[in-house]
Amino acid sequence: MTLPLTLREAADALRARRTTSVALTESALERIRALNDRVGAFIAVTDDVALAAARRADADFASGVDRGPLQGIPFGLKDILATRDAPTTANSLVLDRAWGHGYDAVVTERVRAAGAVILGKLVLSEFAIGAPDASKPFPVPRNPWDLERTPAGSSSGTGVAVVTGMVLAGLGTDTGGSVRGPAAACGHTGLKVTFGRVPKWGCVPLGYTLDSIGPMARSALDCALVLNVIAGHDRRDPTAARAKTADYAAGIDGGVRGLRVGVPVPYFYDHPALQPEVKAATEAVIDTLAGLGAEVREVALPHADLAGHANGITMMCEAFAYHRVDMASTRWGDYGEGVRQLVARGALYSGADYVQAQRFRTWFRREAARVMSEVDVLVTPTTIEPAQRAAEMDPLKRLATPSYTGVFNLLGYPALAIPSGVSPSTGMPLSAQIVGAPFAEATVLQVGHAYQQRTEWHLRVPPIAAEVGVA
């Protein structure tokens, strides 16, 4: 069968009895069998577990039990999140194979309780930071639009699975852009939540003060439906916020008339590394929002370039703190080259460097709060360019590349990556980023949904997926 493109469509079809969860799950598993060797999305596929969950979902529907929109939906988890019925590897030989054994992460518990059908564990950059290393025994993810190009990271497998229809939604993590990067490269929607909005207990850490877990799906509406399930405090995570949650889908049709859209021109629009086609596509998003009644104004986030560097310093130092013992032991060679190149840099920073980065972070948060008091959202490009060719990627060169995502990890702000067009030069997806104030996910999703009601970039399907029945 042809799998519906969006979670919302599939949820409606299940409730109208036009399909069953078993049928959706079998179709998704067929797609995984047909494509996974070519695109490298899944590390592990739990067929039996998935089909058992699908049968339970159908039985619940038959008996009148409705656990919400995720019930019966094919779903995937980044292999950095603990699952009681499958190993967690973090795409690395280093992680203790007993890590996460026999229990679920908080978010895993929550999507299971909502009736989602978890198909397995999805590929990631090693420990959510290292570039793929073909010498290690893990799948190498490839961009479905062009197998020679990167799907970006670190939540690469989730991005690939969503855009090819292997799953209708999934979870990734974001420390410097790891949900939004794959969304931008693969052409779907991804939400980095406010720091603390979603509990991280049961997730392998990268940057203790930066990490977040967020939904990845076709649309802003689908991301809202997933966020409704995973958001909210849990006492097991000391960084989990107690801020009140909302029904993120309830007001999503509110439109943008009267909302104030800030355009932070310095750094985000005038950097010489920003490719003109990315800039033009993002400006077209802004024009669409203005046409829908939004009030557009130019703003400036002072020293946003330094914020990207401060995020990098914070991430490397916190990552090295986690990996120090293993890197200093006989496990050095077990790490992939990409992790060694990046995480070991944390040893080169001094305590003073880390402290200075946090002093800047405090100042920058005050400046950003001042800007956000004048607007409801910011709109920026998500990345400076379309997905690169994998053979041309250089982890060390990436450190000097402007980051339009890491800035908002440093702040802890929510940010939604949405497809904004197609590159005229490469045919690859382009992406814009909608950023809100802390815990303003509802507003960010509302703006993204308004744009997606007028466009269809988020519904485009790679030819490789169309070959196996994705509409």
Active site residues: 78, 154, 178
Q: Is the dihedral of CA 194, 379, 404, 190 positive or negative?
A: positive
In whole angstroms, what is the distance from residue 21 CA to residue 13 CA? 10
Q: At what angle do helices 276-291 and 441-454 cross, to 10 degrees?
A: 90
In whole angstroms, what is the distance from residue 4 CA to residue 469 CA? 10
3-state secondary structure (DSSP) of residue 430 = strand
Q: Is the dihedral of CA 305, 306, 311, 317 positive or negative?
A: positive
What are the start-end ranges of the H helices in 132-264?
156-164, 180-186, 220-230
In whole angstroms, what is the distance from residue 67 CA to residue 378 CA? 34
Q: What would the two tokens of residue 190 be? A: 């991804």
Residue pair 461/471 in contact by the 8 Å Cβ criterion:
yes
Which residues does 137 contact at the CB level (< 8 Å), separation at least 6? 93
Task: For 171, list phi and psi in degrees, rounded to 5.
Answer: -115, 140
Q: What would the two tokens of residue 337 be? A: 């080259």
Burial label for 237, CB within 10 Å (0-12, 13-18, 19+), is middle
**Edge-to-edge strand ranges of the sheet holding 212-217:** 42-45, 117-122, 74-78, 169-174, 212-217, 189-192, 415-422, 429-436, 377-381, 260-264, 295-299
In whole angstroms, what is the distance from residue 199 CA to residue 241 CA? 8
Query: Could you tell me the CA-to-CA distances from 131 to 24, 92, 319, 352, 431 in Å, in that order?
Result: 33, 11, 15, 28, 21
Residue pair 434/377 in contact by the 8 Å Cβ criterion:
yes
Closest CA to 114 of 285, 231, 245: 231
3-state secondary structure (DSSP) of residue 415 = strand
Residue pair 81/65 in contact by the 8 Å Cβ criterion:
no
Residue that has been written with the tokens 């880390």 in this structure: 354
Residue pair 159/172 in contact by the 8 Å Cβ criterion:
yes
Q: What would the two tokens of residue 215 be? A: 């939904």
